[in-house]
Homo-oligomer: A and B are copies of this chain.
């Protein structure tokens, strides 16, 4: 096996972090079609809860508290996956809050790791080749969480609200501080306070300079509803390029930008599948599939970033060997 072939066997790890209800599943759903389902393995860090729902109630801990999570096993599994090895992952069932029998997870080319604490401890944080953080405005997150938890997790509306209150202190202590470690922030914003018109949400994408430049900003600039701020200092004091996509972008303008971003991505990577544009930007509301152009564009940009992270990673491990596959030597 050549170094290059060997490198191809090594998965690229993408972290998708954010509080409960921040849209992790919605944002990443379209990536299967975009990058190819057969290339992606996805895991959720909720499976590393150390305590099930009943046990957390007994000892009065929220799932956001590090004490309720098994970081030792999480860290071990993440590094096994990064080396291309299968793991026997525990399984947390959100429907009834129990931990079921473990399942075998075999890493494919891209491993997407969603969760509440992907960047809390350095030993896990350093495994990621791309670190994404979702940070929607609080009103939106409440609406999203209410919708999901009442329809899919068996909670009542007042229970969801009470739970958010009960978790607030832990969210501030353990979830919010992780944002500063991300490479890419995504913030969906209501067009006006209290509005829940999901089809016309704006989105603010912060691309920190911890990532390579991709030179696709010219493609975005063709739309008047897209605003770019390059080389600014962001909310965490880091140098970044910011893209704001206005929720009022017209379908025609969105389509043009999608097409040119798509062509740019295809030119750079030549690997993306040709998902029909209507497959991107899809979300569930009132038990119906709906479409959002800003969401579609965000998914395209995220796909572009993932392929780019994959590419840099392959170059790096082909050239430098596998030092960074060992947690004992990875954290340069």
Interface residues of A (CB under 8 A from B): 50-51, 55, 58-59, 66-73, 75-76, 79, 117, 120-126, 174, 327-332
Contact = CB atoms under 8 A, between A and B. Distances in A.
A71 B121 contact: yes
Which of A68, A73, A125 lies at the interface centre, i.e. has the most chain B CB atoms within 10 A of its CB? A73
Contacts of A69: 72
Contacts of A122: 75, 79, 123, 327-328
Contacts of A117: 72
B66 A67 contact: no
Nearest to A326: B122
A258 to B, nearest CB: 36
Identical copies in the complex: 2
A120 B72 contact: yes
A66 B121 CA distance: 15
A169 to B, nearest CB: 15
A121 B70 CA distance: 11
A327 to B, nearest CB: 4
A59 to B, nearest CB: 4
Given A58-B59, A75-B121, A126 B328 contact: yes
Contacts of A328: 122, 125-126, 331
Given A71-B71, A122-B327, 9 more contacts: A50-B50, A55-B59, A67-B70, A67-B73, A69-B72, A75-B121, A123-B327, A327-B331, A330-B331
A125 to B, nearest CB: 8
28 contacts: A50-B66, A50-B67, A50-B68, A51-B59, A51-B67, A55-B59, A59-B59, A66-B72, A66-B73, A71-B71, A71-B72, A71-B121, A72-B120, A72-B121, A75-B121, A75-B122, A76-B121, A79-B122, A122-B328, A123-B123, A123-B327, A125-B328, A126-B331, A327-B331, A329-B332, A330-B331, A331-B331, A331-B332
Contacts of A55: 58-59
Nearest to A331: B331
Contacts of A123: 75, 121-124, 327
A331 B73 CA distance: 19
A122 B76 CA distance: 9
Which of A50, A59, A327 lies at the interface centre, i.e. has the most chain B CB atoms within 10 A of its CB? A50
A117 B71 CA distance: 13
A201 to B, nearest CB: 33
Nearest to A52: B59
A71 B121 CA distance: 9
